Amino acid sequence: MKTVVISPEIATYGAMLIGGVVRDAGHEVRLSTALAAGDAGAVLLSLYSTQHLMDPAVKAFVASVREEGKRCYVGGPVSAYPEYVLGELAPDAVVVGEGEETVTRLLEDGVSPDLPGIAYLDAGGRTVLTPPAPPAPVRHRSMPLIPPTIGQQSVRGANVYIETHRGCTGACTFCQVPRFFGREIRSRDLDEVRAEARAFKEMGVSRVSVSGGTGSLYGYDGTTINNDAVIALLEVLAEEFGPKNVSAPDIRVDALTDEVLEAIKKYTIGWLFFGFESGSDSVLRQMGKGVTVEQMHEAVAWSRQHGLKVAGCFIVGYPTETPEDYEATKAFVEEEMLDDVFISVAEPIPKTPLADLVLRTPHEENPVYVPHAGEYHSLHLTEAEARWFDLSMHADMYKPLLHVVTDEVFNVYLTEARKQGEDVRRVTGLIEKYDGA
Ligand code: SF4
């Protein structure tokens, strides 16, 4: 059966991998980022954001595919909460978790209670969840199906994030990675990563990032950072694309060694991206980050000793974040003068501990809903939105290079602050609908 794998707007690595699995099973398959089935008889819709479940265009597309008598299966990160997917989009089935072992059988045999790793609605509208499929092997697997337009794609500067390993040893309350892929690290063979890098290069890719929870956990065996494996990985990617076109984002501050830092300096663009999240030890504890503010400071200093630039991600509006906690985050940003800063309003991904906390937090105590009464009260923001807005401007003031907050920048930040608040309230509404009391 002709099949199309669709990931809206971005050709994600996961969609490409599933496309490769389907191709290698002998099916005619193509990849698309547009919501259009064309002549395909089956659609595999790979959704990577909870927002997709509330997107009218996605809902209308799934409905139209089914009205045409075609099959529509949904997979990707949203499959971690299949009842939400079934309730909002009503596809034929959800491919739950890692889909490589399931998707071909689903295409060939259709929905069945005997097929592990799927969820569907029975004739009575009740959710049926079959037993979980085993974790997919990361070795000797299909090469991704790479679209010819991949070289024009840019996701935070990279054409593609190459998956080098699955899982994360962390247990951050807001994060889906350890819940989706597990806390044990499953690393790919370096030869397979190299072959895949070459295939991407042949298709026009020039800039890549390492994807997989925490970059320096490649080759981790449960005891110590595997310096040799991380160095070899970055060296291979640098050989293929050149160091100026490789980045190794998202590294935990407690997953560093001198050797890893030196390899990042030598084989990548020379930036570290730390998920700091907060400058308050209290919030870090509540987030389950497993690190302290002191460790964060040490990691920045250590990275700079190796001549690396440091970017940081922060989360504001965590349900229990107090004004004092937020001030501590501002102070951290101020003190460290980070080279770049990325900020998010705390989004409760369904089924995470953060989602449970949000459900337990009354709206009148949740910063995402509480009206901001301070400095920006005339802008009619919520407390979380005001913190996003304030921290964005604050971070610009304390970057090593001068960033002037013009009227245009002010308006861009204001719009983004409101959008983030609105998106998080929509997700909160969704988890209240499905998991609320
Ligand atoms: S360290 Fe990063 S990938 Fe791991 S659980 Fe925390 S946020 Fe997720």
Q: Residue 107: its pLDDT value, please?
A: 96
Q: Quick: pLDDT tens for 72-106.
A: 999 999 999 999 999 999 999 999 999 998 999 99
Q: Quick: pLDDT tens for 362-417.
A: 999 999 999 999 999 999 999 999 999 999 999 998 887 777 778 899 999 999 99
With a Cβ cut-off of 6 Å, ligand 1 is lined by 168, 170, 172, 175, 177-178, 213-214, 252, 275
Dist. CA 7 → ligand 1 center (Å): 23
Q: Quick: pLDDT tens for 148-177.
A: 999 999 998 999 999 999 999 999 999 999
User: Is the pLDDT assigned to residue 232 strictly greater than 90?
Assistant: yes
Q: Quick: pLDDT tens for 260-293.
A: 999 999 999 999 999 999 999 999 999 999 999 9
Minimal-distance CA residue to ligand 1 atom 4 = 170
Contact call for residues 97 and 80 (beta carbons, < 8 A): yes
Taking alpha carbons only, the member of 14, 17, 22 closest to residue 42 is 22
Q: Residue 156: its pLDDT value, please?
A: 86
Report the nearest atom of ligand 1 relative to the CA of 171. Answer: 5
Q: Residue 241: its pLDDT value, please?
A: 97
Q: Residue 24: its pLDDT value, please?
A: 97
Dist. CA 173 → ligand 1 center (Å): 9
User: Is the pLDDT assigned to residue 302 strictly greater than 80?
Assistant: yes
Report the nearest atom of ligand 1 relative to the CA of 174. Answer: 7
CA-CA-CA-CA torsion for 21, 24, 27, 32, nearest 10 degrees? 50
| Percentage with pLDDT > 70 across the chain | 99
Dist. CA 256 → ligand 1 center (Å): 14
Dist. CA 15 → ligand 1 center (Å): 22
Q: Residue 1: its pLDDT value, please?
A: 82
Q: Residue 212: its pLDDT value, please?
A: 64
Contact call for residues 250 and 273 (beta carbons, < 8 A): yes
Mean pLDDT of the chain: 95
> Could you tell me whether strands 127-129 and 118-121 are parallel, antiparallel, or unpaired per DSSP bridges?
antiparallel
Contact call for residues 94 and 82 (beta carbons, < 8 A): yes
Domains and their CATH numbers in the chain: 3-129 (3.40.50.280), 148-269 (3.30.750.210), 308-437 (3.30.750)
Give the DSSP H or E segment for 211: strand 208-211
